[in-house]
């Protein structure tokens, strides 16, 4: 059986990793290190992955997205993932706002 870190520690680490990736990635990069960072970022920012990793807790998933909103405000993929999270598991009004921002 694999033990996981407590949810609070996991959430903090997840936010920090995504913050670092946000600084190092380049969505327009075609190859190289910047492209690899972007591909990793896309996997980690996936709404479904976050929702299930944090025990289907939409509040925790929101906290992760909210902590990154200022840093990733110009990233359409970020807003799309946040909007789909709300569409599937949260509030329709939030979903509409985030998806139109994307």
> Looking at residue 1, what is its pLDDT?
63
Q: Which residues contact 78 (CB under 8 A, 6 or more apart)?
A: 45, 65, 68, 69, 72, 102
> Looking at residue 46, what is its pLDDT?
96
Residue-range domain boundaries for the chain: 7-101
Q: What percent of the chain has pLDDT over 70?
A: 94
Q: How do residues 42-75 score in pLDDT, each as one tens digit?
A: 999 999 999 999 989 999 999 999 999 999 998 8
- Number of other residues whose CB lies within 10 A of the CB of residue 85: 24
> Looking at residue 44, what is its pLDDT?
94
CA 53 from chain centre, in angstroms, equals 12
pTM of the model: 0.84
**Mean pLDDT of the 18-40 span:** 79
């Amino acid at each position: 059986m694999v033990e996981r870190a407590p949810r609070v520690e996991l959430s903090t680490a997840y936010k920090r990793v995504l913050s670092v990736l946000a600084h190092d990635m380049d969505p327009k990069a075609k190859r190289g290190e910047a492209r690899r960072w972007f591909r990793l970022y896309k996997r980690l920012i996936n709404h479904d992955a976050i929702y299930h990793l944090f025990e289907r807790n939409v509040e925790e998933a929101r906290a992760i997205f909210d902590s990154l909103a200022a840093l990733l405000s110009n990233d359409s993929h970020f807003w799309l993932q946040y909007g789909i999270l709300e569409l599937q598991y949260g509030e329709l009004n939030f979903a509409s706002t985030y998806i139109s921002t994307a």
